[in-house]
Amino acid sequence: MSKLKVGIVNVTGYAGVELARLLSRHPQVKLSSITGRSAAGQKLADVFPHLAEIDMTISAELGEVDLAVSAMPHKSSAEVIVPLVERGVKVIDMSADFRLKDGEEYPKWYDFAHPAPKLLRQAVYGLPEIHRVEIAKANLVAIPGCYPTGALLALAPAVKEGIIHTDIIVDSKSGVSGAGRTLSLPTHYTEAVDNVRAYSVHGHRHLPEIVQERQAMTNASVSVTFLPHLVPMSRGILSSCYATLKQGVLGKKAEVVELYRNYYKAEPFVRVVDKPPETKQTWGSNLCLVYPVVDARSGKLIVISCIDNLVKGAAGQAIQNMNIMLGFSETEGLEALPVYP
């Protein structure tokens, strides 16, 4: 049986090149087409020498494929995806262009009017641990943002079981690769090294994603405070999430941990761990490490999660969704252990 053909739109960004690395080893599909406007006509190996084994030329336009993954920036991604969907191609979008269900949110958070608001209702939010059934039937999947991935996986069991109140704080630290390859002053080496910086203090564009999915879990209004920070490392996200426990839960520390273990016991890529996780423990893998703690002094649930922002936060999650959409084993091509040190 011939392998299904998969293409990458914009292979030259961090998420796109990570996707190429992972797809090149996938046993069920063939990476058959890659695009990148700034590098069109060049060999992939000349742009990224670490991918020398992938003998492909970067094109300006995507060839015929069974499934396309867009790693374009927001707004540009939607412009590419709409004609692909109209042609009947299955599409996975790694930008933010189809994550939000309300088209009116895009001018507020992304400074553009959405070109295909009707498609927003069709798109499935690609967090498999929550939306697996819908993903299996989808033709268009929106990969969650890296920050929402870690935050939502940290909070989902507590939200689903109704053990916390609706006021939540998410404090996240991300490596510099989360800002992409485009040059900017804050991500220059001398600006980022030996430094930790809070940003988007008045509202990060991933916030409406977290609120949307958190509300969908219980159909209740929520209050979410989300504060991201840039830390001087290349990749990884650590999120510390805080919520007030409901009365009667406080004295049940062991039961809360067991609740988390039971919730994720069948999930191949979420591990509930016994001590605070570290970002290096997820590097290069599709894992999310989750550590729930009951703080009896403050009456809070504290949950720490760690992911590699370029794998579970982007390319790996895209492949996980692809596997579900195409009927493959969910772990195909994603079995690699984390890289250490």
Residues 98 and 152 both lie in one domain:
no
Q: Is residue 218 part of a domain?
A: yes
| Residue 334 lies inside a defined structural domain of this protein | no
Provide, rounded to the nearest whole percent, the portion of the chain with pLDDT above 90.
93
* pLDDT above 80 (res 1): no
Q: Is residue 55 part of a domain?
A: yes
Any domain includes 97: yes
pLDDT at 250 over 80: no
Backbone phi, then psi, for 141, in 5-degree steps? -120, 135
Residue range 257-261: mean pLDDT, rounded:
96
90 plus 215 within the same structural domain: no
Residue from 146, 241, 288, 306 carrying the catalytic annotation = 146
The verdict on residue 134 lying in a domain is no
How large is the average pLDDT for residues 329-341?
Answer: 94
Please indicate, yes or no, whether residues 101 and 244 belong to a single structural domain of this protein: no
Residue 215 CA, chain-centre distance (Å), reads 19
pLDDT at residue 193, rounded to an integer:
96
Residue 155: give the domain boundaries.
Answer: 147-309
Q: Answer yes or no: pTM beyond 0.75.
A: yes
Same domain, residue pair 93 and 198: no
Question: Do residues 114 and 159 share a domain?
Answer: no
Q: Are residues 158 and 106 in the same domain?
A: no
What digits encode the pLDDT tens for the residues 220-239? Answer: 888 999 999 999 999 999 99
Q: Are residues 10 and 100 in the same domain?
A: yes
CA distance 170 to 187: 23
pLDDT digits (tens, 9 = 90+) for 113-139: 999 999 999 999 999 999 999 999 999
Average pLDDT over residues 173-189: 93
Question: 128-136 and 146-160 are packed helices; what angle lies between their axes, rounded to 10 degrees?
Answer: 100
Q: Is residue 210 domain-shared with residue 105, that is, in the same domain? A: no
Kindly tell me if the per-residue pLDDT of 152 is higher than 90.
yes
| Model confidence pLDDT, tens digit, residues 271-296 | 999 999 999 999 999 999 999 999 98
Based on the residue annotation, tell me whether 146 is a catalytic residue of this protein: yes
Question: Do 234 and 296 share a structural domain?
Answer: yes
pLDDT over 90 (residue 313): yes
> Do 167 and 280 fall within a single domain?
yes
Beta bridge partners of 294: 301
CATH code: domain of residue 272: 3.30.360.10
What are the Cα distances from residue 71, in Å, to 19, 58, 80, 275? Answer: 9, 14, 10, 34
* Pair (232, 305) in one structural domain: yes
Please give the mean pLDDT across all residues of the chain. 96
Domain count, the chain: 2
**Which CATH number do you get for residue 76?**
3.40.50.720
